[in-house]
Amino acid sequence: MTVYLDNSATTRPSEPVRETVNRHMQSGWYNPSALYKPAMEIQKEINAVREKCLNAADAAGERIVFTSGGTEADNLALIGHMKTHRQPRRVLISSVEHPAVSSCREVIEGLGHRVEEIPAGPEGHIDLEKLENMTDETVALISVMQVNNETGIIEPLKEIAGIRDRKCPCAGIHVDGVQGFLRVPFSMKAIGVQSYAISAHKIQGLKGTGALILKKDWRIRPIQFGGGQEENLRSGTENTFGIIALGEAVSTYDIEANKRVEKLRKQLEQLLKEAVPDVVINSPTMIHDACAPHILNAAFPPVRSQTMLFALEGDGIYVSAGSACASRKQKISPVLKAMGIRQEIADCSLRFSLSPETTEDEIAYAAERTAFHWNLLRKYTRR
């Protein structure tokens, strides 16, 4: 049996997406910037995808810029906005952000601004009291992700927006929605954020495609230059196959399946607790309202994460030792460190991430094999 439980890293393109891409490779390959009819038809389809994505984020009437993925969307949101400020301002970024956000620090500071980290609490969400104390009129932008890619914690975006409204109403809020889009309810209008990043391959679309949703009146400058596509905010010939696939992924994503995924995630957590007495759950418990349905982060001390990962791979079970973007760096996860998790626990942590395609049999098999390897390997692990 092959069990894929690394859906936070990437998801398998769905059958409707594959069929749509194959069809467009035959007949929809034209450059949408051209003026003849077949190309203009492709442009119409791209514009239809814009509306689908905006509606899915409750952002009808706002702007959307297609990008090469979530990383570029985050970069454009942060750097692009801070390029509009001539005077030095402050940018607040949560300490548990994805590298797509946190790595913008050097560029933003190179523009003359100051970047500060918002501390996280032990469950992984930001410390609202400390955010309140950090916030004043010098803040231009606050960046907090919707769902943490390693632990599944859902950040309190409404409360964050409330602090912004009281303390620095002119500041913007950027939300990295890569792990939350379609999986967790979100309303750009109701919450009052200025930008929202999404990625196609996290929702069974294609890699190399993402988007940044923007309030119409939100100021931003390009970070990529060329032919002036995407309202001159993201030059380069549009990735037509990827964009059309994103539209199909949004149209066919089964929102109701999130409830089934949540049930399976609860089942996995319970099975691991029963079979591995020493397991440490780093994610919030599923009875917690602030927990995404598809991510479970658990540690199996004293067995190190890579050892367990490779043992599970031998059984055809694929999981992650943390963020796929940082898993090759061989160091403690910055997210788990920011949560105050001890290094000896962080070093033994794995991330299991589910999708609507995950089955009960796969969950049972993964839990059984994890327990088997833990019982075997802990005997040979130095303490």
Q: 21 by DSSP, 3-state: which? A: helix
CA distance linking residue 352 with residue 135, whole number of Å: 35
Residue 229, burial from CB neighbour count under 10 angstroms (0-12, 13-18, 19+): middle
Tokens standing for 239?
Answer: 């990735």
Best CA proximity match to 172, nearest among 140, 198, 211, 197 = 140
Marked catalytic residue, from 104, 170, 325, 348: 325
**Does 53 qualify as catalytic in the annotation?**
no
Helices (H), 83-176: 99-102, 105-110, 128-134, 157-167
CA distance linking residue 136 with residue 126, whole number of Å: 17
Length of the chain: 383
Best CA proximity match to 198, nearest among 46, 293, 64 = 64
CA distance linking residue 95 with residue 264, whole number of Å: 29
Best CA proximity match to 271, nearest among 5, 2, 1, 42 = 5
Enumerate the active-site residues: 325
